[in-house]
Amino acid sequence: MTSDLAVIEEYFARVAEEPASTRSLYAEDCVLHYGGTHRLSGEYEGIDSILEMFRRSPETFGLRLSLRPFDIAASERHVVALLDATLGSGTRADQSWLRVVVFRLVGGLIAEQWLLDYDQDLVARLQR
């Protein structure tokens, strides 16, 4: 469990700097489930699909998305992270919302991941 926490802490450190650098933290047959009805929501199977979604995120929002974990907890089966998500450009007021990310790790690698933005309407409106 402690090692799973360390993996997820490393994940957030890397994703903040360069999302593609998280590749080595994912299992080969990983799946990411992004809840909602906006353009990025859906199922992403395999690391290449997940990294492509990460690559598309800035162009979809058109602004810089900042994710700051403020609480991470682990059980024997999952790691759950609560994040402050903030979208800003410096030319208009920043928009913020709560994001919940649930991870299932196998052998120290992320096998499955669920993203859920608490304010679905706001996230859909912010996407281009």
Domain ranges of the chain: 2-126
43 DSSP assignment: E
63 DSSP assignment: S
Residue 28's CB is within 10 A of a number of other CB atoms, namely 8
Q: What fold is seen in the domain 2-126?
A: Nuclear Transport Factor 2; Chain: A, (3.10.450)
Name the pLDDT band for 71 (thresholds 50, 70, 90). Answer: very high
State yes or no: pLDDT of 90 exceeds 60.
Answer: no
Predicted confidence at residue 59, as pLDDT, reads 66
Task: Please answer whether residues 103 and 110 qualify as being in contact, where contact means their C-beta atoms are separated by less than 8 angstroms.
Answer: yes
Q: In this predicted model, what pLDDT tens digit does every residue of 32-46 receive, in sequence order?
A: 999 988 888 999 999
State yes or no: pLDDT of 61 exceeds 80.
Answer: no
